[in-house]
Structures are given as C-alpha cells and as structure tokens.
Amino acid sequence: MESKPWKPAALLAPAVSAVIFLLVIPVCFIVVYSFWLRAPSGADIPAFQFGNYAKFFEDFFYPSLLIRTIRVSLETVLLCLVMGYIPAYFFYRTESRIKPFLLILVMLPFWISFIIRTLSWINILGDTGLINHVLMKIGLLDNPLSMLYNEGAVLMGLIQYLLPFMILNIYVSLEGIDKNLLEAARSLGCTEWQAFREVTLPLSLPGVSAGCLLVFVLTSGTYLPPMILGGPGNDMIANLIFKRVVGTLDWPFGSAISTILLLLLGVIVYTYNRYLGINQIFKSLQ
C-alpha cells in the first residue's frame, strides 16, 4: 500500500494555521510594538529602541506590580492545591453512584461567564451582601465587616476561577493510578496514611505540578478579579497593561509590559521543563 507522507501535514495544517494566525502573529505584533515610540501628540512612531523597557525598570512602581503579581499567583497556587487535592482524592477513592454528578458540579462554573462569577462576590462579601446580612440578622455583628476591595477578596475570586482546573488535573492523574498498588501496599503492612504517602502522593505529582503551573500562568495574566474585587492597591500586572492599552492608548509601553510578562512566564515554563519535564503535564492528562 502506497504511503502518503503529505497526509500528516494536511491533517495538522488547520490546527497549525490557527495557532500561527491567532497566537504567533499577534504576539509578534506586540513584540514589535514594544520597540515603537510614543510621541507627545499621542501618535505611535515606528522605531527600534528600548526606551519602553527602560521606563518600566526606572520606576519601581512597575516592578512592584510584577512582584505583587508573582506573590498573589503563588498564594493562589498554594490555596488551590490545598483546597483541590482533597476533593480530587475523594473522587478517586469513592465508589458512590453520585460521583458523575459531583464531577459535573466541579465543571459547572465553566458554564457561567467569568465576569458574572466575579461580580457575584460583591453580593456575597459586600456591606449589604449575604454574609454580612446573615451575621447582622442573627446578632453577631452590629456593623458590617469590610470584606471587599482587598487582597483577600481578590484571592477568593481567583480561587473560584481556578480551583476547578486544579481539581481536574489532580483527579485525572489520580485516576491513572492502579488501585491494586494500594492493596499491595496495605497487604505488606502499610497503614492507610503510609500507602497514601508512599504510593498515591508520589504518583499523583505529575497532575499536581501540571495544575500548579496552569493556575500560576492563568493567575499571572488575569485582570478581572483585581479590577472588580480589589482596591486601589491591589492591581496586578495585567491591570497595568489594560490601563495602558485601553485607558491611555499607550500601545508601545503596554506592549513592552506584555512582553516582559511573556518572557517571565516563558522562563518559568522553561525552568519547569528543565527540571520536571513538560511531558509530565501530558502524562497527567492520559
């Protein structure tokens, strides 16, 4: 039977074309824009200079936003990991007939607009929101607690957005573990905790690392929770990019900040691949 070497290329062509036109080319435009000049009149002048990058590092206000973004991203990763591993492990061990229904509940937030989910926290955490209303109704509070427009509210919005990603990544990794290994460990004298520590936890690390990387990258690039739920001092780097590009139409400087963020995330992904191997993510999804 005659082989047709062009078939794989033909099958890959639509996906590769979509990636090139919808991702690679726009990113190239952003990188090119980052070297342009912003004229006093507001016009963007084609050029090749590093003034926009120098402007970012000359004023510590801009790097401080980047540092805050990294810190909030790490906090979100840690909280999602702690809160996500327990339900993922429960889904792995349970034999309940409502397990598919519970998994649907985990994926249910994906069916609702991210903006609506973020705005809903105003009705929960606000001065007249659900929590304050209940606490004041039962007499535990005389005045409402201030739970909005701070970093805690931002973290709540981020966790609501990203926790399903962590749960599903860890669950898929756990589901690939042969339960006979746990039975073998227990038959050799391991307690339930020892079997988890020596067998389940190490074998689930690909899913854990994949979930952590995904949550970190998505947190670093999001701007809605800080914009809606955060106060004036809770902006992240994506909010700065939004204000520069949409607010002041300063495309060159906004593009330079975007490029810096892209390079930072690229270094993180490269480091992950160097020490853990990017193939661990795909193993967790098999």
What is the reported pLDDT for 7? 75
Q: Which amino acid is at 105?
A: L
What is the reported pLDDT for 1? 46
- Tell which residue, 111, 62, 81, has the closest CA to residue 210: 81
Q: How far is CA 259 from CA 149, 256, 284, in A?
A: 28, 5, 30
What is the reported pLDDT for 225? 92
Q: Which amino acid is at 267?
A: V
The token pair at 5 is: 């070497």
What is the reported pLDDT for 143? 86
Q: What is the pLDDT along the chain (286 residues), one digit of tens a residue?
A: 455 677 777 888 888 899 899 989 999 999 999 999 988 877 888 989 999 999 999 989 999 999 999 999 999 999 999 999 999 999 998 888 888 898 899 888 888 888 899 999 999 988 888 888 898 888 888 888 888 899 999 999 999 999 999 999 999 989 988 888 888 888 888 888 888 888 888 888 888 988 999 999 999 999 899 999 988 888 999 999 999 988 888 999 999 999 999 999 999 888 887 776 655 554 444 4
**Predicted structure pTM score:** 0.87
What is the reported pLDDT for 218? 93
Give the CA-trace dihedral at 179, 182, 188, 190, to 10 degrees. Answer: -170
Place of tokens 């854990």: 208
Rounded to whole angstroms, how far apart are CA atoms 154 and 235?
10
The token pair at 9 is: 């290329």
Q: Which amino acid is at 107?
A: M
Rounded to whole angstroms, how far apart are CA atoms 223 and 238?
5
What is the reported pLDDT for 284? 45
Domains of the chain listed by start with CATH number: 59-284 (1.10.3720.10)
Q: Which amino acid is at 120?
A: S
**Exposed/middle/buried for residue 192 (C-beta within 10 Å: 0-12, 13-18, 19+):** exposed
Crossing angle of helices 61-93 and 201-221, rounded to 10°: 140
